[in-house]
Amino acid sequence: MARQAAGALIDPILVDECLSPTLAVIAKQHGHDAMHVVWLGRQGTKDHALMPIIAERGYIFVTQNRSDFLRLYSALDMHNGLVVLLPNAGRDEQERLFGIALVELEQRRDLTNLLIEVHADGRVEVRDWVTGKADAGPYPAGS
């Protein structure tokens, strides 16, 4: 896939349905190949059923559903990146946190096997996340 902009990612971005579709629009405005789960006609799809789509299409996945996707991603040998926005928030806050995430994504470009968590205070945590190599961190299940 050819890059659309200087900072564009090679891997496409998929935004979870728990997040606003405006995040995918923002990513597109920054030159990224981006989709929203609803645009794929997959609204209501169970998280475990999204995983084959995410893996097969090589998506960097963006969600607020931390606990389910940490568990699902820990079962993979390799993935193109998982971005978690914390805490669950409304659209304006989602957009702010996603803006911070985009800066991190564009600086790194290769997110293979990385978990990127963006916190409400703007703090970004990045770590390997494959085959249970990392723990779930300070947030309880259901976060």
pLDDT tens for the 143 residues of the chain, in order:
333 445 567 789 999 999 999 999 999 999 999 999 999 999 999 999 999 999 999 999 999 999 999 999 999 999 999 999 999 899 999 999 999 999 999 998 789 999 999 999 999 999 999 865 554 454 433 33
Return the domain boundaries, the chain: 13-128
Contact 60, 104 (CB under 8 A): no
Task: Check residue 104 and give its pLDDT.
Answer: 94
Please state, in angstroms and rounded to a whole number, the distance separating the CA atoms of residues 24 and 140: 27
Specify burial of residue 106 (Cβ count, 10 A radius: 0-12, 13-18, 19+): middle
Please state, in angstroms and rounded to a whole number, the distance separating the CA atoms of residues 32 and 38: 18
| Its pTM surpasses 0.85 | yes
